[in-house]
Amino acid sequence: MSRLDSAIRRLQAQRECLAAAARLIRGIDGPVLELGLGNGRTYDHLRSLLPEREIFAFDRAVDAHPDCVPDADHIVLGEMPDVFAAAQGRIGAPAALAHCDIGTGDPAASAVLAYRIGPALDPLLAPGAVVISDRALVVSRWYLTPLPPAVEPGRYFMYRVGGA
């Protein structure tokens, strides 16, 4: 598969998972966390999909399209997951949804980051929250939830957060 075809399939899977997550979090209070702002495409999509929710974006630095940069109160800069604990007070409530687009292009570095992110992210999430990730994450109180039919297994991962 060409890199273009792979990118298209990844973006389609991302869109399908975000739409499914928006339905799953109805009735769960809390903000949305975007881990990996990148160029801001997914952040922008989340704004249109969940306009009533606060969205907090996390990244090392801002490199997004100017129209897709959160205001200063809604962006957290620094190395993930090191900044999560300090951001908890700023977020103010357990999150209903976390979207993790954390692939680095380096498979080994991405695997290490995924291993660290799940446990560090967990305290920021409400029971019943949905986590969508481009990498498999392992947290004891999270369980895999079915992917939308159009998404191939392994392309994206969706989890529900169990009770405390």
The pLDDT of residue 121: 96
**pLDDT, tens digit (0-9, with 9 covering 90-100), for 107-118:** 888 888 889 999
| Measured distance CA(97)–CA(127) in Å, rounded | 10
Beta bridge partners of 153: 156
Q: Is pLDDT of 127 > 80?
A: yes
Q: What is the DSSP code string of 101-156?
A: ----S-HHHHHHHHHHHHHHHGGGEEEEEEEEESS----TTEEE-PPPTTSPBTTB
* Out of 73-82, 98-107, 120-129, least confident range: 98-107
Structural domains present in the chain: 3-161 (3.40.50.150)
Q: What is the pLDDT of residue 164?
A: 54
Distance between CA atoms of residues 150 and 107, nearest Å:
25
Mean pLDDT, the chain, whole residue set: 94
- Say what the pLDDT of residue 1 is: 85
102-106, 109-113, 137-141, 152-156 — which is least confidently predicted? 102-106
Q: pLDDT of 34-82, one tens digit each? A: 999 999 999 999 999 999 999 999 999 999 999 999 999 999 999 999 9
**Any residues with CB less than 8 A from the CB of 143 and at least 6 apart, and which?**
159, 160, 162
